[in-house]
Structure 1
Amino acid sequence: MRALRALAMLVIIAACRDPAAPPPKRATLLEYLGSLAGTDPATRAREVATWELDRVSWERTVVPPYAGVHADYARSFEEVAPRLVARLAIRSAITTRPHFAGDPRLTRGQAQARWALPVQFPSEVAELDGIALDAVFVRDGERWRAIVGLDGVLRAKAAAIDPVCAAYLDITNAKSCSEIGWVIADSALASDRPRFKHACSLASNLCAN
């Protein structure tokens, strides 16, 4: 009986305690970049380095045709990272928005990174003082990661098959050319030469200036 009374008292005491604090709110991309911009160079470099997706996270994030280019992405990231660090050197007006195909304000790298992501994947892009930060941001658990330099990776893959055709990937101001560019990139990644050749033939007309 005494044990039952003691148990009842514990239940009452537990019920009277303050409710558990909610988990900390995850920073939005806007909040995160705002807290990083204008910090010292070492802090910026250290934080930008965390944006790189490791192989497991990369393969979990991108669509299957792009899973095999992680090593190329990692090399591009190493090359691009110092420029990202420099862009965040001063506090500026930062805006963010969802990353959608067809957005005319996307850089070539951002537009082609969309090809690597599943449809409706919740990626984001940012501008600093109205100028694009050339990266596509994705959530990886509690962290923000970034896809950068993928346009260079795709161009190199296409150029290894046909340098002339690879140049069509540089043309981003025409929707039809961008659409056939996706086929060029996709077939280059798959080493599907007949499909690649057909896409290049179409691009010679669709991408003509």
Structure 2
Amino acid sequence: MQAGFARSLSVPAMALLTLLILTGGAGMPAAAQGGGITVINVPPQFSGFSIRTQDGLNYIDVVVSDYNAWSDIFRVRVEVLDDLRAAVADVAFQQYPDNITLIRQPEFTEPVGSYLVRSLSSATYNAQPVTVEERTEMRVTFVLSPVKGTWVSVTATDLGGLEAFAQVQYSAGFFGGFPQIPALFVAAFALASALVIVRLRIRRDRRGE
């Protein structure tokens, strides 16, 4: 019966149905909480980054976007590196204990160094999102005591293991954004991928597989 139903729908109708599924992500959480704009896993990306000094401390702000939802972001890691790219400080924010246990247990860790000021570091998101940005963005602020370095590398990892990586010179006053992919492009890519799957399914149904 399912094969007959698939054959009875034209490709345009299937495309419309697929688009409705993709854009209806708010009712289908991609991870534990929240809703994105696509149900096909896509890598996270950086939509904002800055380094500033305040009261003798270094504030590293990282804004991560994940079009599966902010809840799909597993870990955000920042490393301060010396001239030889060796880690002087290594700090991370992690939403879940692992990528299987989808119960949020957010915590900051510091595998290398002793610079992280946990009481001032934070991770913020919108618990009642309306716009695309509110549904997909998380801002993580790492506050470090004075640390000397030449480079800072940032890695964002989602629950599926996909990553975004960037590296810039470590200097207070840096403000900018890393390269990012527009949301419409991500949604279009997800739609195209879904249509390929639909076409393959229709061909298999016609062959009786």
Work out whether the TM-score is over 0.5.
no
**Structure with a larger share of its residues in helix:** 1
Structure 1 or 2, whichever has the larger Rg, is: 1
State the structure with bigger RCO (CA 8 A, min sep 6), 1 or 2. 2
**TM-score normalised by L of structure 1:** 0.23
**Structure with a larger share of its residues in strand:** 2
